[in-house]
Amino acid sequence: MSIVSNTLKRIKPSPTIAVTQKARELKASGKDIIGLGAGEPDFDTPDNIKQAAIKAIKDGDTKYTAVDGTPILKDAIVKKFKRENNLEYQIDQITVGAGGKHVIYNAMMATLNEGDEVIVPAPYWVSYPDMVLLAGGNPIILKCNEKQGFKINPSELEKSITKKTKWIILNSPSNPTGACYSEKDIREIAKVLEKYPHVYILSDDIYEHVTYEGFKFFTIAQIDSLKDRVLTMNGVSKAYSMTGWRIGYAAGPTEIIKAIAKIQSQSTTNPSSISQAAAVEALNGTQDFIKERAIAFQERRDFVVNSLNKIKGIECLNPDGAFYVFPSCKGLIGKKDSSGNVFKTDTDFVQSLLENNGIAVVQGSAFGLEGFFRISYATSMENLKKAMERIKSFCESLN
Ligand SMILES: Cc1ncc(COP(=O)(O)O)c(C=O)c1O
C-alpha cells in the first residue's frame, strides 16, 4: 500500500514549474537555453520596498503576526481597493496569505464540500483545477477558444452552471493567454451570474497592473449586485516584482475571510512578518514604476506577436495584458523535426523546441487547450530577439 494519500493521487505537479526546472537543469549541464516558461517579471523589486524590509528586520518585526495579516497591511489593502478599484471594504473583509496561490488554495479548502463544482474557464492557470481537486471539488472546464479571444461566452457559461456550482473563477488579465475582460465583457458575464445567487465568484486580479494601450481594468466586485459573493484575490508578486516574497491577499464576505483564517491558523500561521512590512511599502509607496514597466512589457509583446505572426504555421493573437502570449501551433502538427519525430501534439512540438533549439515554452494542453503554447515575454529584449530567431529557424527546418 502506498504511503501517498488518495487525495494526492488526484493531482499532478505544476507543469509550468516542471518546464522551468527542466530548462534550469539543461542550462546547468552547459546547454544554451532561453527560458520563456517562467511566470515572473524579470525586473528587480524596487529599492524603497527592499529598504522597508531591511527596516522591519532592524526594528525587530521578526515575530509572529496576526494569522491573516497585520492590521497595518490590511489597512494598506483597504486603501488600495478604494484608490484603484473604487471598492469599499472593512478590515475584517481582508485576508493575507503567503502568495496569491496560497489564498486561492485556502479559499477552496475553506468552502468546497465533496462533489461541489467549480467552473474553470480554459485556457486556465495550471493550479486552479488541481486546487479544486485537492479540496474535494470537481473542476468543470469551460473551453474558451481563440475565436472568442479566449474569453468566456456568457451563454456557454450559463449552460455550465448547475445546482452544485459553488464558484466560478475569473482571471483577467489572463495567464496563459493575456486576454483582458473589458467592463462590457464583465457586465455581460454578470448578467448571467445575477440569475444564480448560489454561485460565488473568485476574481483573480493578480495581473491587474500589467495592461497596455489604455486598457481600463475592471473587476467584477465593482458590480454592486454581485459584490457580496465575490472574493477578489490580488497580490504584490507581479505588480511589484515580488514573487519570492510570497504575499497575496483577498477581499470578500467576512464568512469566507474568517474560514480562510481558520485554515491558515492550523497550517502556515502568518505570512512572513518581513514580507508583510515590505508589502505595506509596495502598496502605500510610489506607484510610478508600474507604468514604466508596463510600457516595457508592451514593447516586448509587440515584438513577440509581430515576430510570431511572420512564422509559417504559427498564429498569435495580440492580447491587452499580462506578460504572456498564447500562439497556435496547429499549423505545425503532423510536421517532422530533424531527428525524425513527427509532432502529434503541442507537447511534441514544445519538447522538440527545447531539446533541439534550446527554447523553453509550455504546451497549451497544460492549460486545458490543445494546439497552442505559452510564451512568457518577461525577459530581456535581447533574449526575446534570440528566441524569436531560433523559433523561426526551427519551424522553417520542419518537414
Ligand atoms: C493567474 C495567477 N494567479 C495567481 C498566481 C499566484 O501568484 P503568487 O502566489 O506568486 O502571488 C499566479 C502566479 O503565477 C498566476 O499566474
Average pLDDT over residues 72-80: 98
DSSP 301-322: HHHHHHHHHTSTT-B----SBT
User: Is the pLDDT score of 298 beyond 80?
Assistant: yes
Strands 165-171 and 200-204, how do they pair? parallel
Nearest CA to ligand 1 atom 13: 39
Of the chain, the percentage scoring pLDDT greater than 90 comes to: 90
Pocket test for ligand 1, best of 237, 243, 283, 324 (most atoms within 8 A of CB): 237
Q: pLDDT confidence of 37, banded at 50, 70, 90?
A: confident
Q: Give φ, ψ of 202 to 5 degrees.
A: -100, 115
Q: Give the number of other CB atoms < 10 A from CB of residue 127.
A: 18
Q: Is the dihedral of CA 288, 289, 291, 292 positive or negative?
A: positive
Give residue 208 CA to ligand 1 midpoint distance, Å: 12
DSSP state of 146: G
The pLDDT of residue 12 is above 90: no
SS3 call for 279: helix
Digit-coded pLDDT (tens) for 184-210: 999 999 999 999 999 999 999 999 999
Q: Which of 22-31, 76-85, 267-276, 299-308 is predicted with the least confidence, judged by mean pLDDT?
A: 22-31
Q: Lowest mean pLDDT: which of 6-15, 27-36, 219-228?
A: 6-15
**Distances in Å between the alpha carbon of 347 and those of 231, 361, 364?**
34, 10, 8
Ligand 1 pocket member 327 (CB < 6 A): no
Measured distance CA(216)–CA(342) in Å, rounded: 43
What DSSP letter does each residue of 339-387 carry, written as one string? T--B--SHHHHHHHHHHHH-EE-EEGGGGT-TTBEEEE--S-HHHHHHH
Task: Determine the Cα–Cα distance for residues 242 and 283; give it in Å rounded to an integer.
Answer: 12
Q: Which residues of 206-220 are buried (b: 16+ CB within 10 A; e: fewer)?
A: bbbbbbbeebebbbb
The rounded distance, in Å, linking the Cα atoms of 299 and 322 is: 13
Q: What is the pLDDT of residues 365-375, one digit of tens each?
A: 999 999 999 99
